[in-house]
Amino acid sequence: MKNQNLGLFDDLPDSPDEIICGVDEAGRGPLAGPVFAAAVILDAARPIEGLRDSKKLTEAKRDMLAPLIKQHALAWAIAEASEEEIDKLNILQASMLAMRRAVEALSTVPTLALIDGNRCPVMKIQSIAVIGGDDKVDAISAASILAKTARDAALVTLHERYPQYCFDQHKGYGTALHLERLREHGPSPVHRRSFAPVRALLEIDL
């Protein structure tokens, strides 16, 4: 098991009263769909084997771990920021918003949030950015898995509404297939208009 607590941080007290949540996002890079985030408070008495960065796990492994995390965690929450919010705020700030929403949606209020990456959302509780945290801290790994599986499921649902874009195959990322379908059909209502490939097509239509 990787570090679940403050042992990574020598300058902070390792207090038994600390309630730590791990936080991560999924979907900053795609051209379509919301950005998702998850927050997880793990239960030390119910460890979950196999947690790591969701990008390093197969889809089948993520799908197996996600329900275990939901069953065994003390608390978990998933939130999102919409395509409209991404275009209005920019993707970084929309990701911060989704992470804050996930933390605030937890049924147990944490005292510390460990955030994957090098930035933290503005929140009422203390937060620490952990670069590479999704492969260092179990709670962040768990959040990474929940955010990724939730977003993938959302894109499969979007595929049912917009099958011409094949969202079920590329999950909104700018693959050759996606770009081909985007050029053929033009942007859908769920495409991020502030992202360059989508914006370029919209400008052509002006």
Structure-token pair, residue 126? 């203390």
- Under a CB-based contact definition with an 8 Å cutoff, are residues 70 and 101 in contact? no
Closest CA to 66 of 5, 153, 4, 133: 153
pLDDT at 203: 85
Beta strands in the chain (DSSP E): 20-26, 35-41, 75-81, 112-116, 126-130
pLDDT in tens, 111-143: 999 999 999 999 999 999 999 999 999 999 999
Checking if the pLDDT of 3 tops 50, the result is no
Rounded Cα–Cα distance for residues 48 and 65 (Å): 8
For residue 4, what pLDDT is reported? Answer: 47
Confidence at residue 7, expressed as pLDDT on a 0 to 100 scale? 46
Mean pLDDT confidence for 152-177: 97
Asked if pLDDT for residue 15 goes beyond 90, the answer is no
What are the pLDDT digits (tens) for 54-71? 999 999 999 999 999 999
The CA R_g of the chain, rounded to the nearest whole Å, is 18
Contact (Cβ atoms closer than 8 angstroms) between residue 155 and residue 33: yes
| pLDDT at 44 (0 to 100) | 92
Higher pLDDT, 8 or 95: 95
Cβ neighbours of 88 (radius 10 Å): 12
User: Is residue 170 scored above 50 in pLDDT?
Assistant: yes
**Average pLDDT score over the chain:** 92
Mean pLDDT of 91-106: 98
Q: Is the pLDDT of residue 194 over 50?
A: yes
Say whether pTM exceeds 0.85. Answer: yes
29: left (phi over 0), alpha (psi -120 to 50) or beta: alpha
Residue 6 above 60 pLDDT? Answer: no
Query: Which residue in this structure is represented by tokens 């919301």?
Result: 34
Pairing assessment for the beta strands 20-26 and 112-116 based on DSSP bridges: parallel
Phi, psi of 165 (to 5 degrees): -95, -10
**Whole-angstrom distance, CA of residue 68 vs CA of residue 73:** 8
Mean pLDDT calculated for residue range 93-104: 98
